[in-house]
Every structure is written in C-alpha cells, then in structure tokens.
Structure 1
C-alpha cells in the first residue's frame, strides 16, 4: 500500500506539472514573435487545437500589433482544421464584426461557408447547415465578386442547391407514396421554382405529372408534360410522362353496335 500510494502521488504531481507547462506556454507574457512562432510550430505539427489557442493568445497579449489580425484568422482556421466548427464559426464571425472593412473579410465569409458546408447532413436530416452555408457563400458572391473566393463559392452554392433539391424530392416522394398528392405537389413545385438549374428538375416535373393524373387533373398534367418535353426532350422522365399522359388521355372507343 505504501508503494502504491507513492506511485499515485507521483502521477498526480506529473499531471499537475504537465498542465502547468501548457498554461505557462500559453499565458506567460511573451514577445509577439515568440508567441506566433509557438503557434506556428503547433500548426505545422498539425496540433490544430493547440495552434488555435496559441494564435488566440497572440491577439490577447498583443491586440494592437501587426500580428494580431493574422493571428485571429489563423486561430479561426485552425479550429476549422480541427473540425471544431462551432469555435471556428464563432471566431470568423467575431473577425467580421470587429473588422468589417478589412481586406480579408471575403476570406472570413468564405470560411464561414465552408464550416457550415462540411456539416451538411444526409438529406433525411435537418438542412440548417446547408442554409447557413448558402448565406455565407452568397455574401462572398454579392459583396466580393472579384475575389479569389467567389468562383468556388458559386460552385459550392450549385452543389448545395442540388442537395437541397434532393431533399425536397425525397420529401415529395414520401407524401406521394402516402397518397398526400397536394403536399407532394407543393414540394415538387418548390424544386422547379427554386432549384431550376439542378439535376432534379426533370424528375420533379415528372412527379408533378403523376400527382396531377392521380387527382384527375389531366389538363394540368398535360401542361407540365409539355414543359418537361420542351426543356428535356431526351430525358427518360419525359418518356415516362409522355406514356402516362397518353394512357390517361386516350379516347374511349365505343363498342360496336350489336347486329
């Protein structure tokens, strides 16, 4: 028991000393160059959480130095690399609020978009990260169209739109399978109205044809099928819609009179 107690005390002392070392590295007053180099060492070692805290310490100890703003951005980026997206979003938002006219605000908005983008879930789940990502990327395009980030922001927006359209299609299919055709129609219309450039539009139009025919609305089904044929004449969805409309609108042949 005596030996076990001594070992326990030794381990506790060792952990305490290790903790003190980390705190000393971060919180002891140092020259700005030394703090920044410590942070860069952590960054290059891919110890991103330590790097984020160390860069934050540069800004805390030397808020008016030339290094402070870069350290602020580096801290936010390190949290992104560590996949600590909440911390990264908070840090980039703070930078935007404190320095709205800074040349790197476009970068901060772009990184906000990436933080949300990388949290976009499968289509069966809540799509708030997708909506938040869209807002940030749209800010890049609207406010900084000439920036180096605008092109990729536009590309990401197209991908997000396709993802969100897929979500609407999935929900619409579910309503349709349950016989809730009006609810399904609203979802498919949303795809056609909001996500016109996505790959899901032909299917949305075809599903509208199906729903209208299920409700006995043949004229509406024909009108949508015509739109589908005009815009996607070689699509399999149009072929299916054409066959459906033809089936439901074929003239009824009267039986021959009995002789």
Structure 2
C-alpha cells in the first residue's frame, strides 16, 4: 500500500509539473503555443495553423462540391476570395461561391453572387451559364401563381437577356424553355385574377384583364387550355356592358 501511494503522489506531481511548464510557456512571448502543442496537442486539438495554398483550397472545394457537401465547399471557395483575391483561382472561386449558394437553395445569396460575377467579368466565357443560373435563382424564388409574380417577371427578363445576348450559346434553348414556363405562370396568374373579377360581377375589370391576358400571352393561354373559357367570359362581359352602356354613366356617354 505505501508503494501504491508513493506512485500516485509521483503521478500527481508529474502532472502538476507539466501544468506549471505550460503556464510558464504561455507567459513567455512567442513560445507558449508551441510548448502547449508539444505537451497537450492531443488534449486541446491538433493546433495545425498551416495556411492552405489556393491550389489546395480549390481541390478541397471541388471535391466537396462533387460530394454535395456544399457548406464546406462554400467555406473553401470563400477562403480563396478572402485570402487570395489576386490568385488565378479567384475568378473560379467567385463562380463556385455562387454555385454553392445555389445548391444550398440560398437563392437570394446566389443571385447576388452571380450578379457580382457578371458585373466584374462581363466578357468571361461562362457569362451565359451565369445568366442562366441567375434566371433560375429568380425562377425558383417565385411565389405561387395566386401571389405577386415579380420574381417570375425578373426571371423571364433574365432568360430573354441571355437569348438575345448569346444566340449561339448552348444555354439559349434552355432559356427559351424557361421563358415559356414563365409566360405560363404569368398567364395563370392573370387568368385567376380575371376569374375573381368575373365571379364578383365586376365585368369591366374582368374584360380589361382578359383582353390584356390574350394580348400578352396568347401561346401560353392556348397551351394551358384557357382559350375557350376566356372567350365565353369575354362574350358575357360584353353582353352585360353593352346592356349597361359599357358601365359608364349617362354623363360620361354624352361626353361630359
């Protein structure tokens, strides 16, 4: 038993000595962290402060993107932007930051990053792809068709910009398909609004919306199968408005 107690005392004394050494090391300028790492590296972490090169960060980011670990990919590409803004990999990092946000469904952040890329590199060969992705950010951010469709309109403008500026791009056909989908969304929204006015017997307002709808989105209306119903609604609106003098007062009809 005395031997066992002596061994315990020796262990405690040794541990206290290490703690004192570590505390002394912290107090000494420039050597605290290395001594702490030497004595307690396994306890307090690796302490690896070696800065990664831009090549290593690119490799890490690309690997993480392939693994669909978009959070860590974003971190790697952000480091390139922040630490190596003049590196030959900086432009790639700017693009991949936007892509990582997009895959994380952070469409507002992705849109800002894509817009910044176009602003900084308007003649870069990947601009058609960036425009398509920017359009998709807005397209995927759009609200349901019974709500305001401003994001859909912005998406359509972006896709149209792509088709006009880059008619030879491989993304032109994809953009045209999305334009038609946008037009269908907008047509459906206007169709729903027209029906609301019609059911409320606000025939003048219904007629105005139907007329605008047929003029703005004739192909979408046809594909959605709304044509016959809209024509019937329009005929009923005309019948009522003609009966009621186009909904105007007698003074207005007389020119006052």
> Quick one: distance in 2 between partners of 1:203 and 1:144?
38
Q: In structure 1, what is the Cα distance between the partners aligned to 2:243 and 2:160?
A: 39
Task: Give the Cα–Cα distance (whole angstroms) in 1 for the partners of residues 129 and 58 of structure 2.
Answer: 21
2:149 paired with 1:149: no
Instruction: Spell out structure 1 runs of 4+ moving beyond 3 A.
Output: 200-203
Instruction: Give the match for residue 210 of structure 1.
Output: 236
- Tell me the matched-pair count: 198
1:184 aligns with 2:206: yes
Q: Give, in angstroms, the shift of residue 165 of structure 1.
A: 0.5
Cα distance in structure 1, aligned partners of 2:156 and 2:197: 26
CA drift of 1:64 comes to 2.5
Q: Retained in 2: the 8 A contact 1:110–1:149?
A: yes
Name the counterpart of 1:97.
119
Normalised by the length of structure 2, the TM-score is: 0.71
Counting only pairs closer than 5 Å after superposition, residues 1-259 of structure 1 correspond to structure 2 as: 29-198=51-220, 199=223, 200-216=226-242
1:128, CA displacement in angstroms? 1.4
In structure 2, how many angstroms separate the alpha carbons of the residues matched to 1:64 and 1:77? 20
Q: Distance in 1 between matches of 2:80 and 2:233?
A: 57
- Separation in 2, partners of 1:184, 1:144: 39
Gaps of 5+ in 1: 1-16, 221-259
- Partner of 1:197, secondary structure, is helix
What is residue 14 of structure 1 aligned with on the other side? Answer: none
Residues 194-247 of structure 1: CA deviation (Å, up to 9, x unaligned): 1021134443333211211222369x9xxxxxxxxxxxxxxxxxxxxxxxxxxx
Distance 1:89 1:53 in 2: 18
Task: Please say if residues 191 and 204 of structure 1, whose CA atoms lie closer than 8 Å, have aligned partners that are also in contact.
Answer: no
- In 2, the alpha carbon distance for the partners of 1:102 and 1:177 equals 52
Task: Report the equivalent of 2:10.
Answer: none
Q: Looking at CA atoms only, which structure, 1 or 2, has the larger radius of gyration?
A: 2
* Cα distance in 1, alignment partners of residues 239 and 72 from structure 2: 61
Measure, in 2, the Cα distance between the counterparts of 1:32 and 1:153.
34
Unaligned runs of 5+ residues in structure 2 are: 1-43, 247-256
Distance in 2 between residues matched to 1:36 and 1:159, nearest whole Å? 36
Could you tell me how far apart the structure 2 residues matched to 1:202 and 1:35 are? 59
Normalized against structure 1, the TM-score is what? 0.70
Check the 8 A contact 1:110/1:136 in 2, yes or no.
yes
